[in-house]
Amino acid sequence: MLYPLKFRTIYKDKLWGGQKIREYLGKDFGDLPNCGETWELSGVQGNVSVVKNGALEGKDLKTIIDEFGAELIGKSIHEKYGSDFPLLIKFIDANDDLSIQVHPDDELAQKRHGSFGKTEMWYVIQADEGSSLISGFNQQTDREKYLEYFNSGRLTDILNREKVKSDDVFFLPAGRVHTIGRGLLIAEIQQTSDITYRIYDFDRVDENGNKRDLHVEEALDAIDYNFYPEYKSAYEDEKNKRVRLVKCPYFTTNKLSLDTTFSIDLSGLDSFKIYVCIEGNGTFRHMHDTIDLNLGDVVLLPAGHQKYDIETSSGITLLESYIEG
């Protein structure tokens, strides 16, 4: 019988990583010098999440999808993705700027890598004063103009840099040039893909004095050169309501800011549900199953769990994600 699932965190040290994963989220990354990313729910080959609670403890995500199929992830999702879980959930701590990069869409990723593309979203959990990020271009661009600025070392002149504060949301469809700036702690929800084309890395070197590989040519066919008037997602935060942040073919994400018991009824939704706790604490209750959620926790609810309560006495803020047909 399925129940709400938690998974063991996968920790990633990065050249640009910091200490907020431990200091802010309370996650111990052991002897790593820093932690740039945690992978909280992953079906990526070589980084498949392992259950850490209940009767399925020790089994990995692919194994339980093979075992339970549509009962876990939803009928249409299982038909489309098989045992490949379609979303990847991360926390990212940028102690320094990440590289300027872009991700391919499904068509290009399938052609080149036999993989899904990477559309993603960021929710800013915490931002140091003066923090910023890059999302898209600040003017209409094309391949030739991009190369002119890139080859002259002026690429950042045509990129859109945004000042950022806590609770800001950015949707980044595949093809959008971007980077997370230093001082940001972010929850990331994305397609299951680990394909990144690194365009510029600020000439950084690793502990051995080596620069990371760039993918300048590969990026050219992946980039969306269009200018968009808005890159930050607008939303009105409301207590004890489901607030829509992002809806796209790959995922829907809502925000729940709760200070009292909240009843959920997603009858008719043929999808798993993911809850990411970004503030406070509370408890999920589904029939006889209960599971606690604290800051930094991520829980996967099976597709069959459609009616349940979230209880809190001190307040809890959650990101809720699923896939709509």
Active site residues: 198
Alpha-carbon gap, residue 85 to 302, rounded angstroms: 12
Question: What φ, ψ does residue 214 adopt, rounded to 5°?
Answer: -105, 160
Give bridge partners of residue 258 from the DSSP assignment. Answer: 316
Helix/strand/coil percentages in the chain, nearest 5: 15, 40, 45
What DSSP state is assigned to residue 205?
A: B
Intra-chain end-to-end CA distance of the chain, in Å = 25
Q: Are 243 and 255 in contact (CB under 8 A)?
A: yes
Sign of CA dihedral 66, 72, 76, 77: negative
Torsion angle of alpha carbons 272, 105, 102, 189, nearest 10°?
Answer: -10
Cα(97)–Cα(120) distance, integer angstroms: 18
Which letter, b or e, does each residue of 91-127 get, where b requires 16 or more Cβ atoms within 10 Å of its Cβ?
bbbbbbbbbbbbbbbbebbeeeeebbbbbbbbbbbbb
Interatomic CA distance for residues 202 and 182, integer angstroms: 13
